[in-house]
Chain A
Amino acid sequence: MIKKELGLGMLLVVIAAITGAINPAFLSLVNLLNMANLIGLFGVFALGEGLVIITGGIDLSLGSMFALLGVVFIDLLTTYQVPWPFALLAVLLGGLVLGGIQGFLVTRLKMQPFIVTLCGLLIYRGAARYYTSDSTRGFGYGDEAGTLSSIASGNVAGIPNTFILLIILALVLGVLLHRSVYGRWLYAVGKNEEAARFSGINTNLVIATAYIISGGLAGVSTVLFVFYTNSVSPSSFGNFYELYAIAAAVLGGCSLRGGEGSILGIVLGTALLQVLQNLVNILGIPNSLNFAVMGTVILIGVLADQQLQARRRRKVALASVARTTPRSASAQEKSAPPRGAAVVPTRTGDQA
């Protein structure tokens, strides 16, 4: 399990080293801190996406959720002059509620996650554009949320707060996923929902919780992005961001079939994606190739991982054959004579 993360970490180091060798500006403090900020921004909601993917689902609605929650957030602060703690609370609650609705549709009404969240993507985006009449919302010259703004886009000893927040959230979720009862249930449900249900686990609640957490983290990300860009244009804000999250999770070892993945992997996946983007700029590769580079790396990464896993599985299978063969042979010797009818099985159907 941990091998995958180790490989990913090494890949990250190698790529960074090569890029740094070609262009030392890559390793400059300014560039590194800038990357850390972006990793923080994109990592927070990738964590939530990862949880949803571990259930065997997917959340396509995140980018649109940012737009909808973002315009509401700015409107609360500027138009309605709501004190920032309440506005923050409203956005976080909004994310949780939207996640809850999606979780409900997926578990109770048995709808496919892809469809539910695709519809979410369309609906939230449409709602955001209608709400603002398609106009960009931003902060005026007033200082509506100075405190929050300085928290969200500030830094401690030069390290961006977004990155610090990502580390904190990753630690909390890491404990939740890898040490808590809920995390164990999440993996069990993702791997084999039926066996989990037969073990008395409330599988619907476990899955819905993953969507709720993802929604909540989307709320957090909304606030971070709003203060990163200082304005929200409802038709483009957060476009495609859910795909970054899915890419990061998959690159970090989550399987879309569910039941696999780790928090460390997701964080490393996010970091790798941001490094790649940065590398495109630094090495003077045409910016238009950005997505193509990203796509190629993910494709190769997942392919390599699959090949390695298949090899490992073959090895395990061979080992278990070697282990069981002598034992079953001796069991047969013991039970074969005398040639009694009783040893002949009374069922034959399932051997075939």
Chain B
Amino acid sequence: MAEILFELAGISKSYPGVMALDDVSLRVYRGEVLGLIGENGAGKSTLMRVLGGVIAPSEGVIRIGGTDHARLTVNEATQAGIAFVHQELNLFENLDVAANVFIGRERLVGGPLKLVDDAQMRARVTPLLERLGADFTPDTLVDNLSIAERQLVEIAKALSIDARVIIMDEPTSSLTISETERLLDVIADLKAHGISVIYISHRLGEIMTCADRVVVLRDGRTVGELARDGLSHAAMIRLMIGRDLKALHTPPKRPPQPGGCDIVGLVTSAFPDRQIDLSVRHGEILGLAGLVGAGRTSLARAAFGIDPLLGGEIRIDNAPVDVASPRDAIRQGIYLMPEDRKKSGLVLELPIRENVTLASLLNYARMWLVSSVDERKVAKEQVRRLSIKVASIDTEAVTLSGGNQQKVVLGKWLSMQPRVMFFDEPTRGVDVGAKSEIYALMRELADHGVAIVMISSDMEEVIGVSDRVAVMHEGSVSGVLERPQFSEYNVLQLAIGQALETVEAAAP
């Protein structure tokens, strides 16, 4: 085969208590498109960060042009011709295209004055843009470009440093179909010029179209490699899943009661052309699975009144409820445990006590004056009930561990009367012990009649904790699975927008 551009051999990366990458080896040949797939958290991003010099591997060797490196720095990676096109584009919107391409490497004129030579930079960028088929000029402000066009700017930037391999991480997640096709054309053109592309995507159809070779990661390990002629959806999915899931499921104490929360024809601002229909009954935990960006968080934000509803309605026990603001939602007993607890869940600098009572303070006040006796009682009760490990309720929330912080956010809601609760990635960044405590609390809440929607990207959690699983794909619900149908394969099928092959085949 062709010349090897670089090789990763036996790369491992461990974090305390966590193996993010485990003995991964990878070769990239000149002028190939390498598809890299795996579930959320299989280790793709970590691997690419090792390659880009952002993080150092714990073990293993990176071999470039016959030289072995224990790790790369960002500069070495750039010099070796490794370039990124990021999922969240790293461009300066307030600067023009040429300035972005040459950021940090500005061409200068005027000798000691060190003035920026805009003319030269623009002249150099023009042919790159032509080559990529871009229809904007180098002096366009990036702010005025669409996401697809911004990607071309990133690619132009890669070309301008003579990149030999361009890593694209979910490049099409916010592109339209025609933009996606154009990107695939650009990739074919890059390949024809001898530039390799590492293409990371959940969209197996695109992988099928453009990849010469596919490497599959699972739980930080390479679990298989498919050559061009061996590519199929089924083969890829089979490799992506297939580990033994630890059974965590605690069945509900009693069957779900009638009534609950119905989301009918909901339209969120993230996907204005899609509708969401979803029901969750009192007493059940509904897992909400899907790929990152499928619209799950937008759904929760809209149901909680953070983002406006562009259409549809929310009903509790068949009565439509008004959720124009979080205040309305809270009044209706709809609570949200947000994804980013440090940013949205807690006021970190305030003590636990004030965080617990933040949403319900008026209940512990007379004539708008806070009764510190009542407040302390409630805070203490939540700390005890949730076994939050802390010396005093006056400790600032910032000093707590992730699991305990999450419990404080939970305590804020449990001190009131929940009817419907959305948990957005409830155990992200939470240690194993606190995880199972949070699962137990969710089950306890459900058994008390709360309807629970659990958004999770953790397959083990989705399958282990939920009573039913709804899967979202690109802004709408692509299917709902009952427990007998639960399998990683089925969830993944729905998550990438494929219909279930046969329901029967899914029985465990």
Answer whether A and B are interacting partners.
yes
Contact across chains for A179 and B40 when beta carbons are under 8 A apart: no
Residues of A within 8 A of B245 (CB): 342
B459 located at the interface, meaning its Cβ lies under 8 Å from any Cβ of chain A in the complex = yes
A184:B428 contact, CB within 8 angstroms: no
Contacts of A345 in B (CB 8 A): 18, 20, 41
Interface string of B20-42 (1 = CB under 8 A from A): 11100000000000000001111
Please give the distance in Å from A221's CB to the nearest CB on chain B. Answer: 25
Interface centre among B42, B369, B396, B459 (most CB of A within 10 A): B369
**Among the listed A184, A344, A350, which residue makes an inter-chain contact with B361, where contact means beta carbons less than 8 Å apart?**
A184
The answer to whether B39 touches A199 (Cβ under 8 A) is no
Of chain B, the residue at the smallest CB distance from A188 is B347
Partner of B354, one of A188, A324, A328: A188
Docked Cα-Cα span, A343 to B431, in Å, equals 11
Question: What A residues does B264 contact at CB under 8 A?
Answer: none
Across the interface, B45 reaches (CB within 8 A) one of A200, A320, A349, namely A349
Known: A181-B362, A346-B459, A348-B46. A195 touches B243 (CB 8 A): no
In the complex, residue of chain B having the shortest beta-carbon distance to the beta carbon of A319: B399
The 8 A CB mask of B346-385 against A (1 = contact, 0 = none) is 1111100010001101100100111000000000000000
Tell me if A81 counts as interface (CB < 8 A to partner B): no
Question: Is B149 positioned at the interface, with any CB of A under 8 Å from its CB?
Answer: no
Chain A, 191-220, CB within 8 A of any chain B CB: 191-192, 194-202
Q: How large is the interface on B (under 10, 10 to 19, 20 to 34, 35 or more residues)?
A: 35 or more
Tell me the A309-352 residues at the B interface (CB within 8 Å): 316-317, 319-320, 324, 327-328, 331-332, 335-336, 340-352
Q: Is the CB of A180 within 8 A of B431?
A: no
A335-B432 contact in complex given A324-B401, A347-B40, C-beta closer than 8 Å? yes
Give bound CA distance, A337 to B361, whole Å.
45
Chain B positions 444 through 474: 1 when the CB is less than 8 Å from some CB of chain A, otherwise 0? 0000000000000111110000000000000
CB 8 Å contact bits of A172-190 with B (1 = contact, 0 = none):
0001000111101101100
Q: Which residues of B contact A (CB under 8 A)?
A: 15-22, 39-43, 45-46, 49, 54-55, 219-220, 243-246, 304, 306, 325-327, 329-331, 336, 338, 343-350, 354, 358-359, 361-362, 365, 368-370, 389, 396, 399, 401, 412, 428-429, 431-433, 457-461
Chain A residues within 8 Å of B, Cβ to Cβ: 175, 179-182, 184-185, 187-188, 191-192, 194-202, 259, 316-317, 319-320, 324, 327-328, 331-332, 335-336, 340-352
- 17 additional A-B residue pairs with CB within 8 Å, beyond A181-B362, A352-B45: A188-B347, A192-B343, A195-B345, A195-B358, A198-B304, A198-B306, A199-B358, A200-B329, A201-B358, A201-B359, A316-B399, A342-B243, A346-B40, A346-B460, A348-B42, A349-B41, A352-B55
28 contacts between A and B (CB under 8 A): A180-B368, A181-B362, A181-B370, A182-B368, A194-B343, A195-B346, A195-B347, A198-B306, A198-B345, A199-B326, A199-B358, A200-B326, A200-B327, A200-B331, A316-B396, A316-B399, A328-B16, A331-B17, A332-B16, A341-B243, A341-B244, A342-B245, A345-B18, A346-B42, A346-B458, A348-B21, A352-B15, A352-B54
